[in-house]
Structure 1
Amino acid sequence: MDDQNKNLILATVLSFAVILAWTLIFPPPEAPVDVPAEVAGETATGSTVPIVESGTGDGAVSGGAADPTAPADRADAARVVIETAQFSGSLSLRGGRIDDLALTNYRETLDPGADTVRLMRPVGETDAYLALFGWTGDAESAPNDETIWSLIEGDTLTPDTPVTLGWDNGQGQQFQTRISVDDEFMFTFDQSVINNGSGDFTSRPYGLIRRYSEPDDMKNFFILHEGLVQMTDGELTETDYDDIVDFEPDGPDARKEVTQNGWIGWTDHYWMTNLIPAAEAPFRASVRYFDNRDIYQAEAIMAPQVVSAGGTATVSTRFFAGAKEWESIRNYQDDSEAPVPGFLDSIDWGWFFFLTKPIFALLHYLNAFIGNMGWSIIALTFILKALVLPLTYKSSVSMARMKELQPEMEALKEKAGDDRAAMQQGMMKLYKEKKVNPAAGCLPILLQIPIFFSLYKVIFVTIELRHAPWFGWIKDLSAPDPSSLMNLFGLLPWAAPEPGSFLALIMIGILPILLGVSMWLQQKLNPAPTDPTQQMIFAWMPWVFMFMLGSFASGLVVYWITNNIITFGQQYVILRSLGNKPDVFGNIKSGFKRGKSATTGKSEDK
């Protein structure tokens, strides 16, 4: 077998190895799993919902909430309806818990009549998820998650009509919780205690968010954090569910004392819940895992309140529950009256946050002006390419000079034969004589890598791309191109392969094909490597990337195609300005009688 065939086999094996490795590292999104009705359980708005927690004593919060690991079926208490522009649902008077929230502006899928996204679910349903507020102490003296509150003011929770819950411990203390909600995603709990007893009363108000098992719809993707997210005095901490299982209950990872500013909660791909104590108020942020019931619990325990006889104490805590919308979260962070420091960092911006944040901010403002995320991504690409234009120019000039040296390099290769050392020495001498730096063309590529990953992060993580249409068949820029070679892009009567299947990776859509073609055209303007193996690998690269990125979000593929087209246009214009005349396939034609040489800078015949 000659060297050329060996190199071809090697290039083929390497290309498919890259495809396989990329597929394992960046798996395509899994198809949604339907939960049967008999498994999902009753809705929270029904007359009864099985409750699986009970008991008193220390439990979840030291000296406070009932133990969530002690099961006991109970009929649910009465409920208060929640109605806002963002929510529909209810809260239970058992523990005053918010455990029934649907996000009315978000649907599970793009299918007509698709269910709204349910953020929180009561105990007894799959993925039960709730928040509640109470006071530390035994069950007779302080309210906990099993306390049955009375509704003493209001009947429906809306932005205009808060509700107030009350409970009397029969020992001289009356507790009240006033619950209000704004037009977005923020609840406020004002917890009060009135001490009508003869002595001091001491207790710590708390809030907790409880998840029953890990969410079934977790992506389990390394580029995305799902789990605990908390800010403690300016320090952001993100912890996976698997790591929480190994925490010591009172260890430094599970318990943090916050002196003035912080928040704690759970984050999913697009949704989040967070407890936000009042600014400047110290509190204890803690997280617990109850292995016998597979329960994850985040807690914010406020400082002790010492209430003298005849006195009253009130503590306010906010509770965020909703979509991770950039503008809403930023508004809460920058609120002039009650800011939430660092709240925008609850969105997982990744390692390149210094690029990801401004890139998304620019994309957001472009979309506000244009009104379409697909065209906004294209406009963003033009802006990013304009910013790196000086580097691109230097790179294109360098590659043009390299291409001019191709005949001399071929002659040098024939002269050196199999003597690789002589070949390398000859090339270095040629580069020095012609003042060509072969590494200069790599700089824009190196700069493009963090920009690419930052944009990938933006498109994958931010909710603004979820279900965002472009035009035609592209209805969701956060999902792969739904067209497929399998049915000739919809011309044949059968359906496309199931998303996430191996067949879907091969039977790619229109956008990935356009990506491969645009990458191939761009590559034609670049000088070919002298090494045959490298030549074959580079020749395969456009088509390898075509399949690698075929299962990626459409928005990312749109960016990459636009980037390739702009780069091709820039290189074409630069080559023309240097006296070369490439055709549309990058082949250099002689057509200029005189022009400046790219190697000498002097005018000469072409």
Structure 2
Amino acid sequence: MKDDRQNFVLFAVFAALILFGWPLIQNRFFPTANPPATRIEGGKQVAVPNPAADPTADSPAAVRDRQQVLAETPRVRIEAPLLRGSINLRGPRIDDLVLLRYNETVAKNSAPIRLLSPAGAPEAYFAGFGWRADGLTPPAADAVWTASAPVLSPGKPVTLEAANATGQRFRITVAIDQDYLFTIRQTVLNGGTQPVTVAPYGYINRVGVSKDPDSWTIHTGPMSVNNGAANYEPNFSKVDEGVQRFTTKAGWLGFTDKYWLTALVPDAAQTFDGQFRAGANKSYQADYTVQPRIVQPGQALGQNSRFFAGAKEVRLLDRYTDDGIVTKLDYAIDWGYFRLVEKPIFYYLDWLFRMVGNFGVAIILLTLTIRLVLFPIAQRQFASMAAVRAIQPKMKALQERHKDDKQRLQQEVMALYKQEKVNPLAGCLPTLIQIPIFYALYKVLLLTIEMRHQPFVLWIKDLSAPDPLTPVNLFGLLAFTPPHWLGIGVVPILLGISMYFQFKLNPQAMDETQKQVFAFLPWVLMFVMAPFAVGLQVYWITTNCVSILQQKLLYARHPGLKQAPVK
């Protein structure tokens, strides 16, 4: 009895550490969900302003400021199915880009995501292309280029042109596809009397670090593919310490956020030098330079590259990669070690969504599929549990007989398992299989833009965010927002209830401590899971409900599991 009390006290201490210590480490190692998309005020659901949003979405003054900056220079409009913006002819730069498919918040009148913004405007973020001034005099940084057309659109490229005083003419031809990929061709025509050295470069410059946290689970910030591998280092802090350089062929470099990516893709046939460096006013730059080449008088030299600026849509990145357009662009999504499990789960979940039109229903169907596949294994698990339970009296006898000889006890137990043809590890197999599946779904909900702002039913407007509806403030009727560790939503409560009834159906515990632990554990896990994405909780609730039905069915086939163990 004393041992039971000690065990329960240890478990209570462990549970308290989980409840209060878990929030201290989850944001670093296991970010739980996206920020809440909605909140309940006065019993009504309202959209939450996005703290990481483009300032133009929230501040009229910021809108005027940006529009003033945009109006200061001549521009070529960008009109594509998924993009709107403009190219600054001074420089030139691609420095004005919004993503038409994605909005800042779930509000109906929410502004679209702004990815690029000109220098001098809030949160400047832009890309440019040029030539090194090393044996060549390129146009000045503030030179205004001429454009062959006023609008850039798919199938209608635009050529920008400028010249210098020594007879060289410079052309940058920009094309765009139906999605987010720009094709850039930089050409130097040497009309002078002397050979010139031509070394094209490209750069991306941004002010400030990513608003999405960089964690052990998901990388945000500088990223590159070089020497055949994806490199998620360095981060912004490392760049602050000094310039980070590499040399490679068939790679790319840029900046990745959770859902958005900008990437420079030099010609895959040429070796290039890439680097990340920090600048003034908390700015960061990714740039590359290809190996210099000599252009004789009367000759021309062209260099192709690409620039990706858009959303990290899984199918799109895979298509660019599989078609050989950009090497390993699909690695812009930090799938991690379970990539081989996560991507098939994503594709199956996305297929279900396309079939039913609701991601929450798709998650439920995914769960049912997994449970159906695992049903034969679950049958063997219950059969093994029944067999282990049947030999408990013999186990107790062995423990009493050899309580002073641990080695002999272990030998006798193994002999008993062999004699009775019992495998005690068989019951662990379904749980072990579920772990990578559960983690894979967690990563899918956390990483993929396809899950962003996806509604389910009623008040759940974003399956990738926590449940906003909590009884702690009387479902929003009280004018206060509880802290995240206390704001237990309705869905996490349903999760705790489902776990409680599932544990109630488990075989009766051998001692009182186990009973107390299983009675307490569902409510501990309810608090632990509350900050996670609702979609993950929907998966777990569905799993628990299916497990309850499955247990009832298998108890009918193995009635011995219901009986109390023989003392």
TM-score range, shorter chain: 0.7 to 0.9
Equivalent position of 1:553 in the other structure: 533
Equivalent position of 1:18 in the other structure: 18
Partners of 1:14 and 1:419 in 2: CA distance: 30
**1:358 positional shift:** 1.5
Question: Is the partner of 1:339 in helix, strand or coil?
Answer: coil
Structure 1: which 5+ runs fail to align? 50-75, 590-598, 600-606
- 1:496-543 residue CA offsets vs partner (Å, 9 max, x unmatched): x64xx52x4323122212211222222233335545444433332211
Equivalent position of 1:278 in the other structure: 267
Equivalent position of 2:127 in the other structure: 131
Equivalent position of 1:565 in the other structure: 545
Match for residue 484 of structure 1 among 470, 483, 489: 470
**1:394 counterpart = 2:388:** no
Partners of 2:18 and 2:465 in 1: CA distance: 22
- 1:63-102 residue CA offsets vs partner (Å, 9 max, x unmatched): xxxxxxxxxxxxx432222222212222212211111211
**1:46 counterpart = 2:68:** yes
Equivalent position of 2:88 in the other structure: 92
**1:219 counterpart = 2:209:** no
**1:190 counterpart = 2:178:** no
Higher mean displacement: 533-542 or 153-162: 533-542
Q: In the alignment, residue 181 of structure 2 is paired with which amino acid?
A: M
For the structure 1 residues 472 and 410, does the alpha-carbon distance in structure 2 shift closer, same or farther, using more than 3 Å as the test? farther
For the structure 1 residues 148 and 304, does the alpha-carbon distance in structure 2 shift closer, same or farther, using more than 3 Å as the test? same
Partners of 2:405 and 2:510 in 1: CA distance: 12
Contact 1:265–1:273 under 8 Å retained in 2: yes
**1:231 counterpart = 2:231:** no
**1:347 positional shift:** 0.8
**1:309 positional shift:** 1.0
For the structure 1 residues 569 and 411, does the alpha-carbon distance in structure 2 shift closer, same or farther, using more than 3 Å as the test? farther
Question: Is the partner of 2:147 in helix, strand or coil?
Answer: strand
Higher mean displacement: 553-562 or 27-36: 27-36
- 1:370-419 residue CA offsets vs partner (Å, 9 max, x unmatched): 22211111222222233333332222222233445567778999x78998
Question: Is the partner of 1:143 in helix, strand or coil?
Answer: coil
Question: Is the partner of 2:337 in helix, strand or coil?
Answer: coil
Question: Is the partner of 1:90 in helix, strand or coil?
Answer: strand
Partners of 1:166 and 1:463 in 2: CA distance: 37
Partners of 2:127 and 2:83 in 1: CA distance: 15
Contact 2:8–2:513 under 8 Å retained in 1: yes
Contact 1:41–1:126 under 8 Å retained in 2: no
Contact 2:145–2:161 under 8 Å retained in 1: yes
Contact 1:468–1:476 under 8 Å retained in 2: yes
**1:133 positional shift:** 0.4
Equivalent position of 1:288 in the other structure: 277
Equivalent position of 2:199 in the other structure: 204
**1:206 positional shift:** 0.9
User: Could you say what the CA RMSD is over the residues aligned between the two structures, in angstroms?
Assistant: 3.2
Equivalent position of 1:360 in the other structure: 346
**1:194 positional shift:** 0.8
Contact 1:41–1:124 under 8 Å retained in 2: no
Q: In the alignment, residue 568 of structure 1 is paired with which amino acid?
A: I
Equivalent position of 1:171 in the other structure: 166
- Larger RCO, structure (CA 8 Å, separation 6 or more): 2
Higher mean displacement: 434-443 or 546-555: 434-443
Normalising by structure 2, we get a TM-score of 0.87
**1:318 counterpart = 2:306:** yes
Q: In the alignment, residue 444 of structure 2 is paired with which amino acid?
A: V
Equivalent position of 1:341 in the other structure: 327
**1:312 positional shift:** 1.2
**1:318 positional shift:** 0.8
Question: Is the partner of 1:85 in helix, strand or coil?
Answer: coil
Equivalent position of 1:180 in the other structure: 175
- 1:16-64 residue CA offsets vs partner (Å, 9 max, x unmatched): 2112232222245556437674995854432568xxxxxxxxxxxxxxx
Normalising by structure 1, we get a TM-score of 0.81
- 1:318-343 residue CA offsets vs partner (Å, 9 max, x unmatched): 100011011111221223xx522211
Equivalent position of 2:39 in the other structure: none
Partners of 1:191 and 1:214 in 2: CA distance: 30
Query: Aligned residues, how many?
Result: 542
